Amino acid sequence: MKPLLSKTTKPFIIYVLIVLMISIPVYYFVVDSIWQNELDEHNQIIVEKTAYKFNHLKLSDENLERSIDLWNHIQPETDIERITQNQIRKDSVYISEKHLPFISEQKKERYRCLKKVVYIHGKPYLFTVETNIEESHETIGIIAMITIFFFVVILVGLLYLNRKFSASIWKPFRDTLNQLKTFNLNNQSKIEFPTSDTMEFQELNQSVQKLIERNISVYKSQKEFTENASHELQTPLAIIKNKLDLLLQDQDLTEKRYEIVEDMNKALTRSSRINKNLLLLAKIDNHQFDNSETISFDQMLLQSIDILEEHFEQKNISVEKNIIPIKVNGNSSLTEIMINNLIINAIRHTAFGGTISIQLMNSVFEVSNSGAQELNGELLFKRFSKLSADTNGSGLGLFIIQEICKFHHWTINYRFENGHHIFSVSLLFS
C-alpha cells in the first residue's frame, strides 16, 4: 500500500514531465521562427543600406561595376547582379543549405536568404543576401538541457515541500487514525478528537464521533438483549428439562407416554443447544469476546482429544495425530469451541470403524475423516444447513466455526480427497 501523498505526487510529476517534454519542440519552433523573422529584417536592412550607399557614391558606370565586383568578392554572403527589366521578380525569402568550403567537416549550414531587386543609378540589380541560421540540433540541445534542469528543480522542490509540510498538514488526520486504532468497543470509551482548523478534517472528526456514539448505543442494546435472552430463555428451558427428567423416572409411566416424553426431551435438548449457539453467535457479532490472549493451540487441541476419547471408542474410530507446538493470539473460549466442533463434526459423520486424522503443523489445523462422497460446498457453512440425515446436530456447528475463524482473522476451507472430508483452518492472520 502507498501513502496518499505518493499517489497524488506521482501523477503530478508525470504530468509536469509530459508538459516539459512537449514544450521542447514548441520552444524550438517559436525561437526558430523569431530568429528567422529577425534575420529577414536584418537582410532587408543590409540590402537597403547597401543600395543607399551605392546610390550616394558619385561613380561612373565603369567604376560602379568595379565596385560591385569588389563588393561581391569581399562580401561572400551577399551578391549583386545586374539584370534586365524582363528578369525583375518579386522579393523572395527562403532557406538554403550548403557546405562551407573553408571548413573541413562535411556538414551543411542553414542560411536565411533574401532576393530583392534594387535600383542603383536607375538600373535594376538583383541583390541576394544569405545569413547563417543557428544550428537546429544545437538549439534543441540547449533547450532540452534547460528544460531538464528546471524539471529536476521542480521535482526536488516538490519532494522537499511535500516532506516538510505533510507532517503538519496531515497531523490531525494521523491523530484521528491513531485514536481509532486504539478504540475498543468493549470498553465503550468515547474518543475526544482535537479541534482542527482544516474543514475536511473537522468534518471527518465530527462524523466519526457521531458514528462511534451510535455504535456504542447499538452495542449496549444488543449486549443487554443477549444477556436478557440468555437468562430469560435458559432458565425456563432448564426447568422444563428437569420436569421431563422427573417424568421419565416415574414408574407409572406407560411405554407409549414414555416415548412421547423422550421425544419431547430430545427436542427440548436440541432447542436448548440451538439457543446457546444463537446467543454465542450474537456475542461474536457484538464483539463481546476479547482476542488478546496468547493460546497454546497444541495443548488445547490435545486436551480436547482426551475429553472426546470416549466418543472415539463408542464408534471404534482410529485417530491419527500429528501435532507440533504452536501459539496463537485470540480468545481461548472461542478457540476451544472451534476445535471441539470440528472434531465432534468429524466423529458424527464418520462410520463405525472409520478413521479420523488430526494434524497441526505449519500454522494449519486440519481435521479429516473418512466419507463416501463430497459435501455441497455452497451449503456447508450456512445457518441450519443439513447435509446429512443426522438430527442430533443444531445445523449451526460449521457456521459457528466459520464465524469464530472470521473473528480471529483465520480462514477455513473444505476439500474432499481420496475418500476423506478435510477441513483445514489457516491460523495465520489474513
CATH number at residue 355: 3.30.565.10
Q: Lowest-pLDDT range, 93-102, 194-203, 227-236?
A: 227-236
The pLDDT assigned to 324 comes to 92
Percent of the chain with pLDDT over 90: 14
The residue among 112, 131, 151 that closes a domain is 151
Q: How far apart are CA 225 and CA 238, in angstroms?
A: 19
pLDDT, tens digit, for every residue of 246-296?
A: 777 777 777 787 788 788 877 777 777 777 777 777 777 767 788 888 999
Q: In this structure, is residue 393 part of a structural domain?
A: yes
Q: Which of 15-24, 300-309, 420-429 has the lowest mean pLDDT?
A: 15-24
Regarding whether 140 and 13 lie in a shared domain, the answer is yes
What is the tens place of the pLDDT at every residue in 310-324? 988 999 999 999 999
Mean pLDDT of 51-70: 86
Instruction: Please report whether residue 32 resides in a domain.
Output: yes
Q: Are residues 223 and 300 in the same domain?
A: no
Q: Kindly state whether residue 315 falls inside one of the protein's structural domains.
A: yes
Higher pLDDT: 176 or 366? It is 366
Question: What's this model's pTM, rounded to 2 decimal places?
Answer: 0.48
Q: Is the dihedral of CA 110, 115, 120, 123 positive or negative?
A: positive
The pLDDT value recorded for residue 304 is 92
Q: What is the pLDDT of residue 364?
A: 92
CB-CB neighbours of 158 under 10 Å: 14
What HEC string does 182-201 produce? HCCCCCCCCCCCCCCCCHHH
φ/ψ region of 188 (left if φ > 0, alpha if ψ in -120 to 50, else beta) reads: left
Would the pLDDT of 2 be above 70?
no
> 63 pLDDT exceeds 80?
yes
State whether 412 and 315 are in the same domain: yes
Q: What is the mean pLDDT of residues 190-217?
A: 81
Q: Which of 43-47, 218-222, 343-347 has the lowest mean pLDDT?
A: 218-222
- From 339, 324, 341, select the one nearest 396 (Cα to Cα): 341
Residue of higher predicted confidence among 137 and 112: 112
Q: Are residues 234 and 315 in the same domain?
A: no
pLDDT band, very low/low/confident/very high, at 121 (cuts 50, 70, 90): confident
Instruction: Give the confidence band of 105 by pLDDT, cuts at 50, 70, 90.
Output: low
CA dist 235 and 214 (Å) reads 32
| Whether 245 and 297 share a structural domain | no
**Residue 394 pLDDT:** 55
Residue 356: predicted pLDDT: 92
**Type of residue at 103:** I
* Domain around 377: 293-426
Exposed, middle or buried, 313 (CB in 10 Å: 0-12/13-18/19+)? exposed
pLDDT of residue 351: 87
Q: Who has greater pLDDT, 392 or 257?
A: 257
Q: pLDDT at position 187, please?
A: 66
* 189 within domain boundaries: no
Report pLDDT for 83. Answer: 87
SS3 category, 399: helix
Decide if pLDDT at 94 tops 90.
no
Residue 80 and residue 16 in one domain: yes
- Tell how many helices (H) and how many strands (E) occur in the chain: 10, 11
Last residue of a domain, one of 254, 285, 316: 285
User: Taking 90 as the threshold, does the pLDDT of residue 339 lie above it?
Assistant: yes
For residues 129 and 238, membership in a common domain is answered with no
Measured CA to CA, the distance from residue 304 to residue 289 in angstroms comes to 21
Identify the weakest region by mean pLDDT among 10-14, 68-72, 423-427.
10-14
User: What pLDDT sits at residue 24?
Assistant: 78
Q: Are residues 128 and 81 in contact, defined by beta-carbon separation less than 8 angstroms?
A: yes
If asked whether residues 324 and 356 sit together in one domain, one would say yes
How many domains is the chain built from? 3
Is residue 194 included in any domain, yes or no?
Answer: no
Of all residues in the chain, what percent carry a pLDDT higher than 70?
89
* Mean pLDDT comparison of 14-23, 36-45, 155-164, 388-397, highest-scoring range: 36-45
Residues 298 and 403 in one domain: yes
Among the candidates 151, 173, 208, a domain finishes at: 151
Q: What was the pLDDT predicted at 160?
A: 82
pLDDT of amino acid 238: 77
Domain of 26, CATH number, reads 3.30.450
pLDDT at 151 over 80: yes
132: DSSP letter: E
Indicate whether 344 belongs to any domain.
yes
| Rounded Cα distance, 390 and 270, in Å | 12
Region 142-164 average pLDDT: 82
Q: Are residues 62 and 82 in the same domain?
A: yes
- Which range, 26-40, 118-132, 154-168, 174-188, has the best average confidence (pLDDT)? 118-132
Tell me whether residue 131 is in a domain. Answer: yes
What average pLDDT does the chain have? 81
In a domain, 184, yes or no: no
Residue 382 above 70 pLDDT? yes
Do 298 and 265 belong together in one domain? no
Residues 383 and 366 both lie in one domain: yes
